[in-house]
Amino acid sequence: MELLNTLSIQFIYFGAGLSLLMVLGELYVRKQEDGASFNIYLMLVGLVAFSILLRIGLFLEKPEMSSWWYFTLFASVFASGPLLMQMTRRMIDAAFEGEPPAPARNPVFRSKWYFAPVLPVLAVELNFQLRPVAEKQRVLEEIYYELSFHSVDLGLLLGMLQTLVCLALLTVFVLRTGREFHLSDTKRAITIFAFPAVASLALLSGYALKVIWLMHVGGWFIATTMILSFLYMLRYPHFFQSMKREIQKERYARTQLTGLDVPALLERLKELMEQQKLYLDPDLRLSDLAEELEVTSHQLSRILNENFSQNFNAFLNQYRIEEAKEQLIADPDKTIISVAFDVGFNTKSAFNDQFSRIAGMTPAAFRKNRKA
């Protein structure tokens, strides 16, 4: 039995070391590949996995050491779920080239408020570490035998519950996106979240019930997740690129204009722009305009490309600059920055850049020439 316990703990430590190795490997790859997108959340997930696995091993081994070895454990647990959500969001945004599907735009999925508990929890941890040594030792000895309502037990239980909620949301999102876009690797992607979900459930149950073997199981599943991720990266180094190609293929199929009354759509588009002047809204997005026309964002994008040889931003800015020209002439006393904001730009620099590109001169030069 002692041998199995030792092997189990060593396996958990191995997972911790591999997590750190993956972080270093990712840094090396990004430096070697020019133009490779850098996902900071992916790096942080590896560091958090290392932090959690190291402390699970220490907990199970029960070594005589300073309580400071456990510092940042609670914060790591609270950060793990939100980090996985943000890491996935960044990857999906990149795969969809800035136009993610409806599930990925859901505020419940995209919110960064899940990180809100991390700093307060870190403050609670620091407060605990600054207590007298005898008091800390008493609390750390209790956690092996009974569940109490002190900060240590509450912090760990709440952190694991939050992680389970985040992983559940993430699994639903991946399933919906995979089903909608017929992605062949959806099942593989789900396993990335299924293993940490089982680990969180095992750790939560094991810690609450003080069943040590469940704590071992939780550690195994996290370590196994990191090992499988490492092997998966070696086996499928171009997984992300292949997923991106599948998404682009599906998106192209959805942009087909068959069955749409394009002339009527163009007439409605003209009405929205010239009469209702939707372009004055600084927050107007491609999806908003598509919704007004009752078409998909991809269909509208194709309509703009085929009929105006412009993407959405260029199409919008054309109208905004024409409106700006009229205002600059009609009201000579109006400041340029006021004109910029009134026609839908958020910054003066963006307005000046677009005005110069479209009109061939700055707004100030345009107004001066018209006065002359």
CATH number, domain of 204, equals: 1.20.1070
Angle (deg, nearest 10), helices 239-254 and 297-308: 70
- Both tokens of residue 98? 């800035």
One-letter amino acid for residue 300 of the chain = L
Same domain, 68 and 103: yes
Task: Please indicate, yes or no, whether residues 114 and 259 belong to a single structural domain of this protein.
Answer: no
Helix 118-129 to helix 133-142 angle (10° resolution) is 120
Kindly give the residue spans of alpha helices, DSSP state H, lying in 210-285. 212-235, 239-254, 262-274
- How many structural domains is the chain composed of? 2
For residue 100, the number of C-alpha atoms closer than 13 Å in the C-beta half-sphere is 21
Residue 113 CA to residue 90 CA, distance in Å, equals 16
Find the domain containing 219 and state its range: 2-249
In 66-84, which positions are buried (b, 16+ CB within 10 angstroms) versus exposed (e)?
Answer: ebeebbbbbbbbbbbbbbb
Contacts 24+ apart (CB under 8 A), 342-351: 342/280, 343/279, 343/280, 344/279, 344/280, 344/281, 344/282, 344/284, 344/316, 344/320, 345/282, 345/320, 346/282, 351/324
Last residue of a domain, one of 249, 282, 301: 249
Taking residues 111-126, report their average pLDDT.
88
pLDDT tens digits for range 260-273? 788 888 999 999 99
Domain co-membership, 238 together with 272: no
Average pLDDT score over the chain? 82
Quick one: 137 and 193 in the same domain? yes
Tokens of 3: 């041998």
pLDDT > 80? residue 359: yes
Looking at the structure, do residues 318 and 179 belong to the same domain, yes or no? no
If one counts every other C-beta atom within 10 angstroms of the C-beta of residue 221, the result is 20
Claim to verify: residue 291 and residue 357 sit in the same structural domain: yes
pLDDT of 119 strictly over 50? yes
For residue 160, which of 221, 87, 76 has the smallest C-alpha distance?
A: 76
* 262 and 358 fall within a common domain: yes
Shared domain check, 268 and 245: no
Q: Are residues 272 and 193 in the same domain?
A: no
Split at pLDDT 50, 70, 90, the class of 33 is: low
316-320: long-range pairs with CB below 8 Å, 24+ = 316/279, 316/284, 316/344, 317/354, 317/358, 318/358, 319/273, 319/277, 319/279, 320/279, 320/280, 320/344, 320/345, 320/354
pTM of the model: 0.62
Radius of gyration of the chain (CA): 27
The answer on pLDDT for 225 being more than 50 is yes
CATH code, 364: 1.10.10.60
Q: What's the pLDDT at 48?
A: 93
Q: What one-letter code names the amino acid at 255? A: T
**Model pLDDT, residue 238:** 53
Q: Give the per-residue pLDDT at 35.
A: 46
Percent of the chain with pLDDT over 70: 83
pLDDT tens track for 273-329: 989 999 999 999 988 898 888 888 878 888 888 888 888 889 999 999 999 999 888
Are 13 and 145 in the same domain? yes
> Residue 332 CB: number of other CB atoms within 10 A?
9
Residue that terminates a domain, selected from 225, 249, 273:
249
192, 226, 249 - which closes a domain = 249
Residue with the bigger pLDDT between 27 and 72: it is 72
Per-residue pLDDT band for 244 (boundaries 50, 70, 90) equals low
Per-residue pLDDT at 235 = 64
Residues 32, 136 share a domain: yes
Q: Are residues 182 and 297 in the same domain?
A: no
